[in-house]
A and B are shown apart, each in its own frame.
Chain A
Amino acid sequence: MARMNPEINAGSMADIAFLLLIFFLVTTTMDVDSGILRVLPPPIDPNAPPPPPVRERNVFVVLIDYQDRILVEGQLGNINTLREQTKEFLLNRTNDPNLPEKRMVEIENLGETEVSRGIISLQNDRGTSYEMYIAVQNELAAAINELRNDLSREKFGKRFDELTDEDLIKAIREAVPMAISEAEPKDIGGGR
């Protein structure tokens, strides 16, 4: 028998590899998880002295009850106006004594800047729906982001989310802090 030089036809190999490739493309996910990032307060040490009380004027209380109604600073609020209210509170343009104090802080790249001492306290009931909670969180975050955008445009000529320089981002973050406190849970009652 004559010795043949066997040559396997590798033409279909590419097709097989293509099939595998398409299979992986279909079954795997490339979606990037996104959401609202928050940092929880550290657990309270029972032996630690109670923290100094925060002045009434510096706290912006947003409460969502079990029927998803919003109470903003003791008055019935609305999700559509919450953003403006929050901005007004944090800005305190007229230096109203009922709105939060400001302090001057020397910030790198920004110089002397007024930083509001305002804190947003978000409280909810056990019966509050998650969707409403996220909607409110979103509005509060939007208010702060808008303030950051305004400041960034004024100082650097660009929107905050368009900034690329880490130092500038840090400066803006310091000037307009994301001061949202998710309160200790309390049972307001009514809900489940």
Chain B
Amino acid sequence: MARFKKDAGTKSVKINTASLPDIIFMLLFFFMVTTTMRETTLFVRTQMPPASEVQKLERKSLVSFIYIGPPIQYQVFGTEPRIQLNDAFATLNEIAPYVAAEREARNEAERNQITTSLKVDRDTKMGIVTDVKQELRKSNALKINYSTTRGEVVAGRR
């Protein structure tokens, strides 16, 4: 015991912190790899309706998004709901090429597993959504996901 005490007294112990940055960098890289950056800037408002019977979208790399909603800059673009694909407003005719491009970007083996996630604003009318669905059917993108938030449906809200 005495000896132990003596050792501690004479040497000032300095922990080597040289590897600390490496550990932090490893954490950093882990987060960079696992998370995704928001790629698109939204031009339309997509406040999604709540639903309780939701399923998770399993593989994010196999999901392509279609946004429908009233433009955020309604002073410029009006309040009529618009479709947004990638980084621009789009018309119905542009959906088929978009689906084809999304398919082209994926692995050949996984092309039939692509899910199209419809992020639609809650106040949108079904007309435009039906049109989009018909376009998707025509281009054979049959797996769709009505994107919702988790929550109880408030019955009777108009």
Evaluate whether A14 and B24 lie within 8 angstroms (CB atoms) in the complex, with A34-B54, A40-B136 already known. Answer: yes
> In the complex, A11→B20 CA distance in Å?
9
Measured CB to CB, the closest approach of chain A to B69, in angstroms, equals 9
Write out the residue numbers on chain A whose beta carbons fall within 8 Å of the beta carbon of B122. Answer: 129-131, 134
Evaluate whether A40 and B49 lie within 8 angstroms (CB atoms) in the complex, with A21-B31, A35-B117, A128-B125 already known. Answer: no
Contact B32 A24 (CB under 8 A): yes
Chain B interface: which of A47-55, A135-143, A167-175?
A135-143
User: A104 on the interface (CB 8 Å rule)?
Assistant: no
Contact B21 A126 (CB under 8 A): no
Contact B24 A129 (CB under 8 A): no
Indicate with 1 or 0, residue by residue over A149-176, a CB within 8 angstroms of chain B CB atoms: 0000000000000000000000000000
Chain B residues touching A, range:
35 or more
Q: How many residues of A contact B (CB 8 A)?
A: 52
Beta-carbon contacts under 8 Å, B13-53 to A: 17-18, 20-21, 24-25, 27-28, 31-32, 34-38, 48-49, 51-53
Write out the residue numbers on chain B whose beta carbons fall within 8 Å of the beta carbon of A16. Answer: 21
> In the complex, A81→B123 CA distance in Å?
23
Contact B137 A21 (CB under 8 A): no
Chain A interface: which of B2-10, B86-94, B102-110, B150-158?
B150-158
Measured CB to CB, the closest approach of chain A to B130, in angstroms, equals 5
User: B144 on the interface (CB 8 Å rule)?
Assistant: yes
Q: Which of A17, A32, A137 has the most CB of B within 10 A?
A: A17
Measured CB to CB, the closest approach of chain A to B33, in angstroms, equals 10
A-B contact pairs, 5 of them (CB 8 A): A18-B24, A33-B63, A35-B147, A129-B125, A191-B125
Give 8 closest A-B pairs by Cβ, nearest first. Answer: A126-B127, A28-B35, A17-B24, A13-B21, A141-B53, A35-B147, A131-B122, A128-B126
